Structures are given as C-alpha cells and as structure tokens.
Copies of this chain bind each other. A is one copy, B any other.
Amino acid sequence: MATAARTEVLADEEVQVHETKAELFHGLDVVFFAGREGAKGASRQWAETAIKAGAYCIDNGSDFRLYPDVPLVVPEVNMDVVTRDDKLIASPNCSTIQLVVALAPLHRFATLKRLVVATYQSVSGWGQKAMEELQSQLRQLVAGEPVTFDPSVFARPIGLDCIPHIDRFSHAGYTKEELKLVNETRKILDAPELLITATTVRVPVMIGHAEAVNAEFKCPINADQAREILSDPAKAPGVVLIDGPTDDPNAVAVRGAPEELRYPTQCDILRDEWKDMTLVGRVRDDETVDYGLNLWVVADNLRKGAATNVVQIAEAMIERGFFEGKV
C-alpha cells in the first residue's frame, strides 16, 4: 500500500489518509465519496474507476443526484429502488433527507400535493471553517469588538444574524440549496408532479437543521392521524415525534425529560438517543386548505443529513446481500 499522505484523528482513532490512486480501489466492496459539485467532484473523478474495480460507490456529493439512472436514496424511504446492479448510489442534500424522512410516511397515507418549506440551517452545513467563523464572531461579540468576517465563508457575519442565502444563486432568484430541496424531494418520493417551494436560511446555530414545513395533501389527513403515524416506528422509521400533550407553559422548561418536551429543537439532536433520528414536532392542522398540516422537522445535518445516511445505505446493501459486511 502507498505511504500515507497524512494522519487524521477521527473519533479518537488515528486514521491514515492516502492520496487516491486507481490501484487502491482493488478488493473494496464499497467506496464512499464526499465530493464537491462540478468537474472536480470526487465521484466524478473516481467513481468509474472504483466501479470497474468491482466496488459499490455511495456518493454524498451532489454530482449525480439527479441522474435518472442513479438512485437517490434515503434508506427509510426508498431503499427498494436500489438493485444489485446499481453500482453508484447518491445520498441527498442534508435539508432534503430530514424532510423526506418526516414526510414519506404522511405521503404514503394521504399523497402530498404541495409543500412550502422555510429552513433554519446551522453553520456546520457549510463546513468546519463556517463553525470557526461563528465561534470567532461570538468571541468578538462577547469581547465587545467589531465583528469581522471572511466573505469566502458567508457573505455576511452570521454572528448574530440570519442569512437567507445558502449555496449560490441560480434560476429565477432561487439558490441552489432551494432547488436541491425541490428536485431531490420529488425524485426520492417518486413524485415528479409534487409542488414544492422553499426559502433556505442560514441561522447562528452550530449543528442541526430545522424546517418549518407547510404540507398540503390530496387525500384526507389531520394532525391527530399524522401524530399517530409519526409516532409509530413501523410506519415512520427514523422519526421521533416530540409533540407535547401538555398546555402547561412551565412543562417545557424541564430538559432531560423527553415526555415533557413539546417540540424538538436543533440542540436536541445532540442527545445520544436522537443523534441519528429525524425529530418532528409542532404538528398542527392547517385549516387554510382542505387537507393541510404544519410541521417542525429537526435533524443533525452532519449525521443523518450526511454521514449517517451514507452509512445506512451501505448497511442496507449488506442486509440485502449485495456484499458481505458487518452491520
């Protein structure tokens, strides 16, 4: 094997990082890609080589997500579209994953018609530098110093402001993040006619994305039915419903007592038992349409929104016997 280019510490373990070379793919069952979009994306450069060497490729990048012959997969939702012959599988964008995990069970029950989504996305979605940027700005704010910012990270200081601008601007004034949410959701739910419109916003939170979701359905559904579906792990795998029954405003003050929480927040995904789950709360009937619901959806953008989903795809492939491995 080649000499390691560098050593990284991941989860307290030293990991040797090698430069990618064609011969390194030989004998691998599965290769994970986490590449940038465009011509230089990791999967664009290397997936073909890895597939020729006999490996399955799972891509966390956005290069191939909308390719008709590449399955775009959230295991809880549409693992059934993957066959043994699909050598390249794409994992969706973070904000899409939590949305479809929460909505797919309701879509199966009542068929989604239209979605209006507003997001509250943490800085970690833009990488390590973005987290350092917010941390540095917090220090400046606390010290009473002028807030400085690196425009190559966010267009403005994120400490403390909400920036309605994630990824680049694209068609008709929408950002790429907004268009990803539209197009990827349609593909995963196999609902090309589903109407979706979104505004995606960066908020001064370190980890975890939240989404205010207004969902209109074609068939009858109400908040009670939605809560029943979302609280059943068989019907809504990967979902934790946190929708407190109490109207006592003091009840929510007690953290560490899940049964008393009335709604999830981004900080809840730091709990060990919820770190890979999609948390749903604030389930309400929207009486302004025939069959409408409002929901609040939260997940860890780094775990379920990225790494966890990719690992879960590989685990599901092992379970289906595509290759051998330990789940």
Q: Which chain A residues have a beta carbon within 8 Å of chain B's beta carbons?
A: 114, 116, 118, 120, 135, 138-139, 141-142, 151, 155-157, 160-165, 168-169, 172-174, 195-197, 199, 201, 203-206, 210, 212, 214, 223, 243, 247, 249-250, 252-253, 255, 262-263, 265-267, 281-289, 292, 294, 296
Selected from B118, B168, B206, B286, the residue in CB contact (under 8 A) with A197 is: B286
Q: Which residues of B contact A169 (CB under 8 A)?
A: 247, 249, 262
A156 touches B249 (CB 8 A): no
How many Å from the CB of A65 to the closest CB on chain B?
21
A203 touches B294 (CB 8 A): no
Q: Which residues of B contact A118 (CB under 8 A)?
A: 118, 199, 212
| A-B CB proximity, top 10 nearest | A151-B253, A118-B118, A195-B288, A118-B212, A155-B252, A199-B212, A173-B284, A116-B116, A161-B267, A116-B214
How many Å from the CB of A26 to the closest CB on chain B?
40
Q: Which residues of B contact A142 (CB under 8 A)?
A: 135, 138-139, 142
Selected from B156, B197, B204, the residue in CB contact (under 8 A) with A294 is: B197
Main secondary structure of the interface of A (DSSP, over half): mixed
Residue in B closest to A114 when the chains form the complex, CB atoms: B288
Selected from B197, B263, B267, B286, the residue in CB contact (under 8 A) with A157 is: B267
Q: Which residues of B contact A282 (CB under 8 A)?
A: 164, 173, 199
How many Å from the CB of A130 to the closest CB on chain B?
13
How many Å from the CB of A208 to the closest CB on chain B?
8
Residue in B closest to A207 when the chains form the complex, CB atoms: B160
Give the CA-CA distance A205 to B72 in the complex, in Å: 36
A–B complex contacts, Cβ < 8 Å, 13 sampled: A114-B288, A120-B201, A151-B253, A156-B255, A161-B265, A165-B262, A165-B263, A172-B285, A173-B283, A197-B287, A199-B212, A199-B214, A203-B203
Selected from B151, B160, B296, the residue in CB contact (under 8 A) with A199 is: B296
Give the CA-CA distance A253 to B152 in the complex, in Å: 8
